[in-house]
Amino acid sequence: MANAFSWMAWTLEIAVFFISVVLMLIGMTLWQLKSPSIERKGFLPIPTTRGDRLFIGLLGAAYVNLAWAGLTDATQWIAAGLGFLVLLIMMRWG
């Protein structure tokens, strides 16, 4: 019987992506405990907190990575960079 995760292609790029997500979640939790966020309105059509923007940005970064992996054979580092850019834009102006 095959391992339940035998279908997953764990590469260094994918591992770095998921480790970064975990570190961001830990950092945001500590930041929220130290300085609770307030809602603000950016280019998103709804008022959001830091946590909301992080969640939406992580979703965007994940979609960029999935689309990149599914549509191209180019290195995943480019997708990671684009995903990080999406996350930074969302956190700053979202």
The ranges assigned to domains in the chain are 12-93
pLDDT digits (tens, 9 = 90+) for 23-32: 988 999 999 9
pLDDT digits (tens, 9 = 90+) for 53-90: 988 998 998 899 899 989 999 988 898 899 889 989 99
- Predicted local distance difference test score (pLDDT) of residue 34: 94
Could you tell me the pTM of the whole model?
0.74
pLDDT digits (tens, 9 = 90+) for 3-29: 555 666 777 877 887 898 899 889 999
Quick one: average pLDDT of 40-61?
A: 90
3-state secondary structure the chain: CCCCCCCCCCCHHHHHHHHHHHHHHHHHHHHHHHCCCCCECCCCCCCECHHHHHHHHHHHHHHHHHHHHHHCCCCHHHHHHHHHHHHHHHHHHC
